[in-house]
Structure 1
Amino acid sequence: MLSAFTPRPLKRLFTANQCWTSFLDAGGLRDIEVEAVTKMLACGTRILGVKEYICDKPECPHVRYVTNSCGSRACPSCGKKATDLWIATQLNRLPDCDWVHLVFTLPDTQWPVFESNRWLLNDVCRLAVENLLYAARKRGQEPGIFCAIHTYGRRLNWHPHVHVSVTCGGLNKHGQWKKLSFLKDAMRSRWMWNMRQRLLKAWSEGLAMPESLSHITTESQRRSLVLKAGGKYWHVYMSKKTAGGRNTARYLGRYLKKPPIAASRLAHYNGGGA
């Protein structure tokens, strides 16, 4: 017999008061979002199948049933396992040197543009990496870089930004390892310039205009949004150096592989908010 099923915290939140059903009925969800939640809700249930384990001794009556997991990153249980496995793998790959971690942000006035034109997010990652490569190659060095884009903030609101980890050194043309550092102000200036130029070009490629920016209809208004609005909110955050590949792998695992909602963060549900 299968033991009684106890819902996990995130499942309880999605199923309490028909929350997930209400979201579906309201519409507006992307297929990938519906798929991720559907997998998470089915994880550990008979819906995904059950494995039967029996003793190889004919006289032994013991039988054990194990339900299959979903393997979705949105699932706190499966996502945690995937994170731990990923970190263990990277420990054998990452250079055992100092690393520095950076975050490239965009002004909130432009967040809606990227939400309605998600294909632009690829350029956000690319330009963040090119920023670092430009600085390193000016000195004749090739660094190691990890990059991941996050489209949500700590409050799970839409907030596109880029996490980048880069080695504090690189290989020169002779294959020799040389120390490398980056100037925060110079990176911020290049980041702001390159992203603004990309956005201006994107307007001519046919951007979908979000409803919140529907009042912007002329070329001068578009240029003002890109070139003037939110000038002081283009940030490049740079952490202190992290020593060694082990600490770096753990740091990267939290940002590259972790589930978007950890069960430990679900403290209370009052029927309307968590």
Structure 2
Amino acid sequence: MEKSCTIQDVFERFYPVYEKTHELPAHHRKAAFHIMNCKTGAFGVNISVCEECGCISVHNNSCRSRCCPMCQEFPKEKWIDAQKENVLDAPYYHVVFTVPEELHPIIYSNQKLLYDALYHAASSTLNELAKDSKYLGADIGYICILHTWGSAMNYHPHIHTIVLGGGLDKDNKWKDTGGKFFLPYGVIAKVFRGKYLCELKSLWNDSKLEFHGTAEKYQNHYCFKELLDECYKKDWVAYCKETFNGAQSVINYLGKYTHRIAISNHRIKSMTEATVTYAVKDYKNKGQWKEKTVPGEEFIRRFLMHVPPKRFVRIRHYGLLSCRNKSKKMTHCRNLLGCKKYISALKNRNAAEMIRLLYNIDVCKCSSCGGKMVPHLPDKHTPSVFAHMRC
């Protein structure tokens, strides 16, 4: 049994067999290739030489895949830093939109279409209710992030939204509810249910949906109608988590959700020739952590379920936080609230400067003598001793 292992180790052991026995879409194969070859030299290397002592440093390039557990920290820190300029000293709320499990097979068969529908339904719900004078009567701003997994890597698509707890009314003045979330959860869930099922019905009527696996039965009109009726009868779940204390806590909290993947390396507890054991939360026991063991190929299957479609945008900004609004309207909101602007610390800096600021590591300093490291660019006529390391 191997106790110190990573997701890369799991893929190297079990993916080759899994690939031979399953038909995989191209974006799954690409994600697996990136994970197995990240920081191995397959994506090239960076070579630096110390000007003082001649010490050579070789750094294998990462794959930069958004599904790779080794490549999320730096993009996350850069993204969080960029958001500082758009954060107000105002209440923020974390609202989660979920769908009943009866819809999971049809959503998985139509990921791009029905993931988009989740964003459309969530944003339309928030916009409609926030503009209602009964609740707030203002235009708000929020960020939507799609997650498709539960703690055990089961399929569980849902939308996380970070909602600004106030907005601009029709007179362009700031309006909020003084620290209390302005929308009742029951109303959110009912409106979201209606909007999502309406879009699902429209896609089915336009023959845009595909049906695979356990979703094949919904090609039949009567089965699909029974599914819709069942979902209309169910109480959908939409809930709001605690508010945030100050703008900096909002910034830090965002990073927990924006660049998260289905499972991280630290949750892999052990691996044998046939199984993988990882930590999961037991929500029936107050969220206590426990260990779950599954066959290696089942682990691969669960992981790949959560690879997003090609070019799919997971982080989306709406309302006051949308790209076309935030430059002017956020400045106006900041002036109305009298709060300071948080300045990006990483803006216009190169990678070496960002690493030094974030991690207090100077990659331009020789670890042996403290001299300056410079890039090694071998002459095209001189064979490099590192040529075999390039892909």
SS class of match (1:159) = strand
Q: What count of residue pairs does the alignment treat as equivalent? A: 264
Gap change, CA 1:44 and 1:205, over 3 Å in 2: same
Is structure 2 residue 213 aligned with structure 1 residue 219?
A: no
SS class of match (1:91) = helix
CA contact (8 A) 2:95 2:239 kept: yes
Of 134, 137, 140, the match for 1:143 = 140
Aligned to 2:95: 102
Deviation for aligned residue 1:27: 2.5
CA contact (8 A) 2:107 2:114 kept: yes
Q: Which runs of 5+ in 2 are unaligned?
A: 278-391
CA contact (8 A) 2:166 2:175 kept: yes
CA contact (8 A) 2:104 2:156 kept: yes
Gap change, CA 1:233 and 1:81, over 3 Å in 2: farther
2:39 counterpart letter in structure 1? G
SS class of match (1:85) = helix
Gap change, CA 1:8 and 1:41, over 3 Å in 2: farther
Gap change, CA 1:233 and 1:42, over 3 Å in 2: farther
Aligned counterparts of 2:48 and 2:110: Cα–Cα separation in 1:
49
CA contact (8 A) 1:83 1:253 kept: yes
CA contact (8 A) 1:108 1:230 kept: no
1:113 counterpart letter in structure 2? I
Aligned counterparts of 1:185 and 1:236: Cα–Cα separation in 2:
7
The RMSD of aligned alpha carbons is 2.0
Matches within 5 A, 1:167-182: 167-180=164-177, 181-182=182-183
1:268 counterpart letter in structure 2? S
SS class of match (1:221) = helix
Gap change, CA 1:71 and 1:216, over 3 Å in 2: closer
Deviation for aligned residue 1:157: 1.9
CA contact (8 A) 2:105 2:214 kept: yes
Aligned to 1:50: 45
Aligned to 1:3: none
Of 33, 36, 48, the match for 2:31 = 36
Aligned to 2:68: 75
**Structure-1-length-normalised TM-score:** 0.89
Is structure 2 residue 115 aligned with structure 1 residue 121?
A: yes
**Structure-2-length-normalised TM-score:** 0.63
**Cα-to-partner distance string for 1:3-28 (whole Å, 9 max, x where unaligned):** xxxx9612111113xx0101211223
CA contact (8 A) 1:100 1:165 kept: yes
CA contact (8 A) 1:80 1:259 kept: no
SS class of match (1:47) = coil
Deviation for aligned residue 1:225: 0.6
Q: Which runs of 5+ in 1 are unaligned?
A: 1-6
Aligned counterparts of 1:95 and 1:133: Cα–Cα separation in 2:
19
CA contact (8 A) 1:51 1:65 kept: yes
Aligned counterparts of 1:242 and 1:224: Cα–Cα separation in 2:
41
Gap change, CA 1:174 and 1:266, over 3 Å in 2: same
Say which structure is richer in helix: 1
Of 65, 78, 92, the match for 2:58 = 65
SS class of match (1:267) = strand
Identity level (%): 25
Is structure 2 residue 151 aligned with structure 1 residue 154?
A: yes
Gap change, CA 1:216 and 1:69, over 3 Å in 2: closer
SS class of match (2:42) = helix
2:242 counterpart letter in structure 1? K
Aligned counterparts of 2:64 and 2:17: Cα–Cα separation in 1:
25
